[in-house]
A and B are shown apart, each in its own frame.
Chain A
Amino acid sequence: MSGTNKPHILLVDDESAITANLAPFLQRAGFEVRIATDGEAALEQLAAERADLIVLDVLMPRLDGREMLRRLRAENNWTPVVLLTQVGEATERAMALEEGADDYLNKPFDPHELIARIRSVLRRARPGQPPLSASRRLASGTLQLDRLARRVWLHGSELTLTPKAVALLEYLLTHPDELVSRERLLDAVWGWDYPAGTRAVDTRVAEIRRALHDDAAHPTYIETIPGQGYRFAAVVNAAQ
């Protein structure tokens, strides 16, 4: 460590135009930033000096982001990773669970959104331990979610939810105690962020609340933050 308390970020992208612009932006936001241009270079850098978080592009020469992440996790290295890709697709969601990234952001993104993602991932991170986003089963009180089977239980009995509602609940459970905007939920769960879509988010949140018997006025699980979005308020754990 360089004496300061600034979190160390390793930015991995082969596009120099991106790293040249993004690095100073992250530095001004209060991070120490190092740059690697592909997966192999990143692994070498990590072996020399650890990082608090990795911002990782997927498509890169030599060793791509996905493969690098798999190698990292195979070595039981749980350094938080924000992967720069789309995760809206069902197949990609399954893959995301397998590869164990902490969060996702789709290019081109608003750089301020990246800062928000980094901060919330750092806040959630438990040093040396797998993130919630890497566990197959999640639990919050008597609520249970099996992410591979796409099944949800409450008090031990299974709930019937639409696939979209399950995906939305999954996102909220893997981002507990975090204010998530409707636009972010649309982008992450639906894969699009049309203004007309924010209503779709509200409809699915209402569906989940009905299934969980969660009172919108006095919620146990999903809080509405007026004019801003939603927050999963209960404690979430990885379950067996």
Chain B
Amino acid sequence: MKISGRQVKTQWLLALVPFGACALLGLVVRALPGPSPTVYVEFSVSEWLLVVGVLLGALVLGVVWLQRQERQRFRERVAELQKQSADDRRRLLQRVDHELKNPLTAIRAGIANLTDAPAESGEALQSVVAQTVRLSRLAADLRKLGELETRPLENAPVDLLELLREVIALVRERPEVADRTLSLGLPQAPWPLPQLSGDHDLLFLAIHNLVENAIKFTQKGDTVEVRAYEEDAGVAIEVADTGPGIPEDEVPHVWEELSRGQAARTVPGTGLGLALVRAIITRHGGAATIRSRVAVGTVVTVSLPGEGVSVQ
């Protein structure tokens, strides 16, 4: 639906129509032969006030109705623009992925020819191989992001307790965890967490990504806490760390594709991890937020609706 500014402006000219019509009618009546017809009307003041009240009421109703229409149109326009920009972004991701695919395939085949040649695979070549694999990973992540927004999700009951325990078990396999404190806090009383429904593997991926991030960005002696609690009609999962924190001006951008903060420059990754997390959580009808203080730590909160709220 398209509403141009001109269309809205010309609508006000409609007010001239009854005025013009009555003026015209008056002229016609005056032009009639004989004396101009006259009507004498008698109103008591109370009746007169009543009529004025009704007219004013109608006027107010009309204005309110017009304003509501205007707001509705504005909301529709904003939603339309948002959808358009989301579509644009998705198409861009798909194109980038597509344009990366062929050169990367060719490079990988070319390198395979070199590395299979006898005794010529020096350090330089190994480095090229590693960078190519890294670019391939980036292309795969871009494609995944594009897909996540369109493909149907699996929607089955998810045992969040079990999922969080699995995530912690997998992260514990990382060697750095040995000199950090990693803990999982789950409510047991008076009742455990409510059931969720969604795509188990994607939720696992999202939470694992957050916990792994927290481990990657912290130092020896730091603490990483994963906690979950019931919230409104769903569950909140928090991943908190005593890491370096994120500068205030970087916080609003951490969920964006390829955003790599100051601290992230030295940590390997594609820069798509948090964008992927956001896409997964949004598709589940949830939200993800970050609170952070430099040199103190970071808390990422993921809110997910409980069972009965279907995935979108």
Contacts and interface: CB of A to CB of B under 8 A. Distances in A.
**Main SS of the interface on chain B?**
helix
B309 interface: no
**Main SS of the interface on chain A?**
helix
Contact of A89 (B112, B147, B166): B147
Given A107-B104, A109-B105, A162-B156, A24 B201 contact: no
A191 B147 contact: yes
A66 B103 CA distance: 21
Interface of B: 100-110, 112-113, 116, 136, 139-140, 143-144, 147, 151-152, 154, 156, 166, 170, 200-201, 204-205, 208-209, 212
A6 interface: no
Interface stretch (A13-21, A125-133, A230-238): A13-21
Interface stretch (A116-124, A174-182, A193-201, A216-224): A193-201
Contacts of B105: 15, 18, 22, 107-109
B116 A199 contact: no
A4 B108 CA distance: 28
A61 interface: no
Contacts of A30: none
Interface string A79-115: 0000000100110000000000000000111111000
Given A191-B147, A200-B204, A21 B113 contact: yes
Contact of B108 (A15, A20, A109): A109
Interface residues of A, number: 30
Contacts of B102: 15, 17-18, 107
A190 interface: yes
Top 5 A-B pairs ranked by shortest CB distance?
A: A108-B104, A21-B109, A17-B106, A111-B112, A21-B110
A18 B151 contact: no
B205 A197 contact: yes
A24 B109 CA distance: 9
Most buried by A among B108, B110, B136, B151: B108
B136 A108 contact: yes
Given A89-B151, A191-B144, A196 B212 contact: yes
A110 B105 CA distance: 8
Interface of A: 15, 17-18, 20-22, 24-25, 28, 86, 89-90, 107-112, 162-164, 190-194, 196-197, 199-200
B149 to A, nearest CB: 13
Contacts of B106: 15, 17-18, 20-22
A194 B207 CA distance: 13
A83 to B, nearest CB: 14
A110 B129 CA distance: 11
8 contacts: A17-B106, A18-B105, A112-B112, A162-B154, A191-B144, A192-B140, A196-B209, A199-B170
Given A17-B102, A194-B205, 16 more contacts: A15-B102, A15-B105, A17-B106, A21-B106, A21-B110, A25-B112, A89-B147, A108-B101, A108-B108, A192-B144, A192-B205, A193-B140, A196-B170, A196-B204, A197-B205, A199-B170
Contacts of A17: 102-103, 106
B201 A22 contact: no
A164 B110 contact: no
B108 A28 contact: no
B201 A111 contact: no
